Amino acid sequence: MDPRAGLPADNPFAAPSDLPFGLPPFDRVRTGHFAPAFDAGMAAHRAELDELLAAELPAAAFLDALESSGRLLARAEAVFWNLTGTDADDALRAVQEEYAPELAAHHDAVRLDPRVVARVRALHEDPPADLDAEARRLLERLHSDAARSGALLDEAGARRLRELNAELSALTTRFDVELLADTNDLAVHFERAEELEGLAPADLARAAEAARARGRDGYVIALVLPTGQPVLEALRRRTSRERVHRASIARGGRGGEHDTRALLQRIAALRAERARLLGFADHASWVVADETAGDVEAVVGMLRRLAPAAVANARSEEAELTELLVTDGEAPPLRAWDWSYCAGRLLRERFAVDTEALRPWFELERVLVDGVFATASALYGLSFTERADLPVYADGVRVFEVAGPGGPFGLYLFDPYARESKRGGAWMSSFSDRSGLLGTAPVVVNCLNVARPAPGEATLLTVDEVETLFHEFGHTLHGLLSDVHYPRFSGTNVPRDFVEFPSQVNEFWGFEPEVLQRYARHHVTGEPLPDGAAQGLRAARAHGQGFATLEYLAAALLDLAWHRLPAGALDGARPEDVERFEAEALAEAGVALEAVPPRYRSTYFHHVFGGGYAAAYYSYVWSEVLDADAVEWFAENGGLRRENGEHFRRTLLSRGGSVDPLQAYRDFRGRDAAIEPLLRRRGLQGAGA
C-alpha cells in the first residue's frame, strides 16, 4: 500500500519542497492542507515503522531508518506548529484543537512501540562494535527515553504509572485554574487616585479601566505572576505598596476555595511516588538525570555557592536603599514592598539612565545588519543576502540566504513585528533542521513582537528589544551552525539547562563597545551614542543584582526542596505545613531575608506546580554560569575574532546534542565552567567558593 494514497499531489506537503534549502512553499499552503497531510503522514509513519522493523536491519541501518521515518508528517508539523505561534486564525486553531491530542498520542505510540523498545533495549545491552559515537549516543538517549517514560515497567507498574500521570495532569491543570482565580480575586482595589500617586497617567487609566471592567468605581491593580509587582516601583504611598505586596504573597495560601496548598502537596507526593516507581530517589533526581547537570547534588552545590555572595550584596543594597527611605521621611526597616520603589529611584538618580531616550540610536535595520549580522560575520564568517523572491508566511517576514566559508548553506527568516495572529514574546524556531542523515539544510526563524511604526517611519527599538534580538539570534546560530547526523541532535535540541547558553553568549556581544559603536547610530544624524550612555547602560545592568540573584535562588532552592522529598514524606501533611516547610527550606539554604522574598512562593509557583519547570527552575542560572565563563574566554582571547568564533563553532555550536554538552563545554574551555565570572558579571562581591 502506498501510505500517501489519499493525499492529492497538489497538497504542498505531499513531496519535499523544491524551493532553495527546502523552504516550505508558503504561497501554496492553505489551512485545509494540514488535516489530510496529518492523516496521511501518521499512516505513512506507521507503515514505515512496520517496514523497518520487519526488515531486521543491522544496528546502524536500524537507527538511520528509525530517525528518517515520518518525514511527511514532520514536513507538515514543522509548518503547522510555527504558524500556530506566528499567524494563527480560528480555522488554524480548530485544526490544532482537533489534532494536537492525536499527534501527541501518535508520537508516544511510535516512541513507546514495544517492538522499537525491545530492539533498543537489546542493542543497548550489547551494542555492536561498529557503531560510531553519535549512534551510540542516540542508542543511549532512546533507551533512557524508554526507561524514563516507563516503557520498561512490568504490567502492574505501567498501570500505576498511567494512574499517576493522569492524576498529575489533572492536578497541575487545577493548580493553574485555582491560582488564576485567586490572582483575579486578589486584584487590589483603590478608591481614590491619590492612593496611586506616582503611577504614570497611562497606567492610572488602565487601572480605572480595570475597575470599570469589574463593575467597580475607582481603580483596580491586577496582579502579575511573580512576587514583585511592577507597580511597586512607582507607588509613592507606602501603605498602598504594602497592600499590593500583601495581596501578591497571599495567593493560594489564604484558605477558601482557591487555596493551592493541599494541591501542591499532593502534586509533590505523586511526583515522588512516580520517581520511585521509575527507579529514582526523588523527582528532582529523575528530572536532573536528563539534563546536563546530571545529578541534583551538582545543582544544589552550584546554587549554594552563589547564595552567600547574593545575600551579602542584597544586604548592602538593603543598607543603601534604607538610607533613601529615611531621606524620604519614612521609618526603617526597609520592607519587601519598599524595595523596588527605592531601587528605581536610586537607578534614575545615580545612573541618569533614561532608556526610552536612547531609542533613536537603535534603529531596527542598523541593529540587524550592522549589529547582529556583522557580529556573526566577524565571529563565524557568515554573510546574509536578502531573498525577496522567496515566499513567506505573513506580511513583513523577510528571508535571508546564509553563506559561510564554504558557500550558501541555509536560510534565516526574520519576523520582527507584532500582529494579532502572533503570540507574545520572542523566540527562535526552525522549519528545517540541518542533518547529515536526511541531507536537510537549516531554515531558521526569529520572531519578535516589535510594534510596527507608522508608514514611512523608522522602527526604533528599546534597549530590551536590542538585547532580545541578539539573544534570539544566538539560538539561530546554534541552529544554523549545527553539523550532526541525526536530526534529533540538531542545533538547539539539547537539554533545557544548556539551551539558553549559546543565546546568552550572543546577547553579550550586543553591548560590547566595539559592536555597539558600529550599529548604535542615530537614525537621522548618524551620530554615535552620547558620551557616557554606553557605560551608563552597562552599569545600570549590573545594578541591583544582589536582590535579583537572591530572589531567584530562593525560588530555585524552594523548587528543589519540594522535589527532593522521597515518596511518603508528605503522608499526613496538612495545608498549614506549607509555610513551615518553605521557611525551613529557605533558612536551611541560607537565603531567608525578610525584605527579599522568593521570586515565587510555593502557593503561586506556576512554573513548577502548573507549568513544566518542576525541579528545573535552576536551569536559567545553570546556563548563565556557562555563559559568563564562556564570555570571559572570548575576552581572554581577544574578543571578536574569527579564530575565536571558529573555536566556539567547532567545539560547541556545531555539535548540538550529539555529544555530552558538558564535554563539549570542556572541549571549548579546556576545563569545567567556573562560577566566578558570573559573580563578577553580576557585581557580586566575594567568590563564595
Q: How many CA atoms, within 13 angstroms, populate the side-chain half-sphere of residue 252? A: 29
Least spacing, CB of residue 473 vs Zn ion, in Å: 10
628: Cα separation from own chain's centroid: 18
Least spacing, CB of residue 185 vs Zn ion, in Å: 33
The set of cell numbers assigned to 170 is: 489533572
Least spacing, CB of residue 471 vs Zn ion, in Å: 6
Nearer Cβ to Zn ion, position 507 or 582?
Answer: 507
Nearer Cβ to Zn ion, position 505 or 556?
Answer: 505
Query: What's the CA gap between 667 and 493, in Å, rounded?
Result: 19
Parallel, antiparallel, or unpaired for β 407-417 and 398-404? Answer: antiparallel
Query: What's the CA gap between 273 and 566, in Å, rounded?
Result: 8
Query: What's the CA gap between 175 and 187, in Å, rounded?
Result: 18
Q: For the chain, give percent helix, strand, coil, nearest 5.
A: 60, 5, 35
Nearer Cβ to Zn ion, position 428 or 659?
Answer: 428
Nearer Cβ to Zn ion, position 70 or 656?
Answer: 656
Nearer Cβ to Zn ion, position 60 or 426?
Answer: 426
Taking CB atoms, the residue at the shortest distance from Zn ion is 503
* One-letter amino acid of 248: S
Q: What's the start-to-end Cα distance of the chain, in Å?
A: 64
Least spacing, CB of residue 500 vs Zn ion, in Å: 5
Least spacing, CB of residue 427 vs Zn ion, in Å: 7
Length of the chain: 689
Query: What's the CA gap between 68 and 75, in Å, rounded?
Result: 12
Task: Kindly list the distances between the CA atom of residue 456 and the CA atoms of 91, 420, 452, 459, in Å, as whole numbers in the listed order.
Answer: 33, 21, 11, 10
The set of cell numbers assigned to 344 is: 528605581
Least spacing, CB of residue 514 vs Zn ion, in Å: 24
Task: Kindly list the distances between the CA atom of residue 648 and the CA atoms of 187, 373, 634, 644, in Å, as whole numbers in the listed order.
Answer: 48, 17, 9, 6
Ranges of beta strands (E only) in 349-418 are 383-386, 398-404, 407-417
Query: What's the CA gap between 276 and 296, in Å, rounded?
Result: 15
Nearer Cβ to Zn ion, position 146 or 413?
Answer: 413
The set of cell numbers assigned to 324 is: 533613601
Residues contributing to the site for Zn ion (CB under 5 A): 500, 503
Least spacing, CB of residue 475 vs Zn ion, in Å: 6
Query: What's the CA gap between 402 and 431, in Å, rounded?
Result: 15
Least spacing, CB of residue 594 vs Zn ion, in Å: 33
Nearer Cβ to Zn ion, position 285 or 492?
Answer: 492
Nearer Cβ to Zn ion, position 478 or 485?
Answer: 478
Residue appearing with cell numbers 493522569: 166
- Phi then psi for residue 45, to 5 deg, are -60, -45
Task: Kindly list the distances between the CA atom of residue 106 and the CA atoms of 42, 74, 102, 141, 612, in Å, as whole numbers in the listed order.
Answer: 7, 12, 6, 19, 21
Query: What's the CA gap between 678 and 398, in Å, rounded?
Result: 36
Q: What residues act catalytically?
A: 472
Among the listed residues 680, 673, 684, the one whose alpha carbon sits nearest the alpha carbon of residue 629: 673
